[in-house]
Amino acid sequence: MGTVASDIIKESGEECYLIALEGNKQAIVEGMASFESGGPGDLVVLPNREALNKMNGRTFAAVVIPKELEKEAPRFPDKTAVFVSTAVELSHALLKQKLFTHDYSKVGWKKVHASAVIHNSVKIPASTTVGPGAVIEKGVVIGKNCRIMANSVIEHNAVIGSNVQIHPGVIIGWDCEIGDECSILSNSVIGGDGFGFSQDQHFNHHRIPQTGNVVIGKKVTVGAVNTIDRGTYGSTIVGEGCIMGSLCHIGHNVTLGKNCIMTGGFLCGGSCTLGDRVVASGGAMLKDHLNICSDVYLLHRAGVVHDITKPGVYAGSPVLPMPKYVKSNAIYAQLDEMRQKLRELTGQKSLSSNLSGSSGSQY
């Protein structure tokens, strides 16, 4: 059974940035799809005029268009509901969260699977589900409406907030804390030992026990196969609202500010401190013991080896401010031509001429 368009704007309009509903207010929305693949029962988002022009006569139950295209509403068929948004990409995210996200509670068994191993000191709220093979150790605290999925492990005295999703194979280490509304994707390890060793005169390695923890703030998403190491003595901290892609590593004693974005393959050495809204594109790497101020963007597999104290866009390895990076790349592409011109100006033969005219061994 679908949802009536008028009910969507009545119940979710303001929070989903919808300011008007035109066309067929009684249209029934049965699903949500991209505008390239959507069909007659779907709600689709048309973010710009280019998308609007690619409809090619196809019809949908409802569309979301940006406010600047509101005058185009009459071009849609009479049976289509037309939502007008002041922030179309936000409307996309929030509508899908509210109406069409996956329901992880529909697992097919009772709230706690019979194969789960749960210490008798742990209270599982009635609204929380625990999947097959999950292990929950002594002293763990779990909030309401959580989804603890198959084969995940929550070690002793960890604290899990409410509305948390812990996907299959996740390990939450002892004493670690996960804030409300977090999502920890499959096979991530939160609170493994940090990389702390000392070497003796024979270069044998001696482990420094890592006795801190990891504290993750509210509304954090940790991607699949991430590792966030516990602190040596204090906490490794992930600030509220941070999101991470897959295959990221956060070393021990790191502090991430609020609303940072770390995309796939991000590597952060231990004891770094990052401000708020730091954005790292795929493959970016930070040397240990660095300080990165707020509002920094790291692009093009950035390799950071020194502190960054001014907000802005940085790229390359080692990183440069973006204008210098672009200029350096342009110069680099012309190095061979510049070398030849320099040789001509100084009267030297080209390297290729020297080699072709030489005799004896080549190198």
- Are 77 and 192 in a shared domain? no
Provide the domain limits for residue 233.
Answer: 175-323
**292-301: pLDDT as tens digits:** 999 999 998 9
Does residue 108 lie within any of the structural domains? no
- Are 187 and 305 in a shared domain? yes
- Are 303 and 196 in a shared domain? yes
Does residue 11 lie within any of the structural domains? yes
Query: How many Cα atoms within 13 Å fall on the side-chain side of residue 160?
Result: 33
pTM given for the model: 0.85
Does residue 313 lie within any of the structural domains? yes
Does residue 16 lie within any of the structural domains? yes
At 224, which CATH number?
2.160.10.10
Per-residue confidence (pLDDT) for residue 342, from 0 to 100: 80
Does residue 218 lie within any of the structural domains? yes
Residue 135, H or E segment: strand 135-136
Per-residue confidence (pLDDT) for residue 360, from 0 to 100: 44
d(CA 78, CA 100): 25
**Residues 6+ away with beta carbon under 8 Å from 39:** 33, 58, 60
CA distances from 311 to 185, 274, 282, 297 (A): 31, 12, 19, 8
Out of 252, 289, 300, 306, pick the active-site residue: 252
- Are 73 and 203 in a shared domain? no
Per-residue confidence (pLDDT) for residue 330, from 0 to 100: 76
Domains held by the chain: number: 2
Assess contact for 242 and 217: CB atoms under 8 A: yes
- Are 196 and 310 in a shared domain? yes
Is 252 in the active site?
yes
Assess contact for 155 and 191: CB atoms under 8 A: yes
At 77, which CATH number?
3.40.1390.10
Structure-block tokens of residue 20: 């008007």
Does residue 163 lie within any of the structural domains? no
Handedness of CA 332, 337, 342, 343 (dihedral sign): positive
Per-residue confidence (pLDDT) for residue 345, from 0 to 100: 82
Assess contact for 336 and 351: CB atoms under 8 A: no
- Are 307 and 189 in a shared domain? yes
Does residue 347 lie within any of the structural domains? no
Per-residue confidence (pLDDT) for residue 348, from 0 to 100: 66
Per-residue confidence (pLDDT) for residue 354, from 0 to 100: 53
- Ranges of residues in the chain with a pLDDT under 50 are 351, 355, 358-363
Does residue 115 lie within any of the structural domains? no
* CA angle 105–142–121, rounded 5-degree value: 120
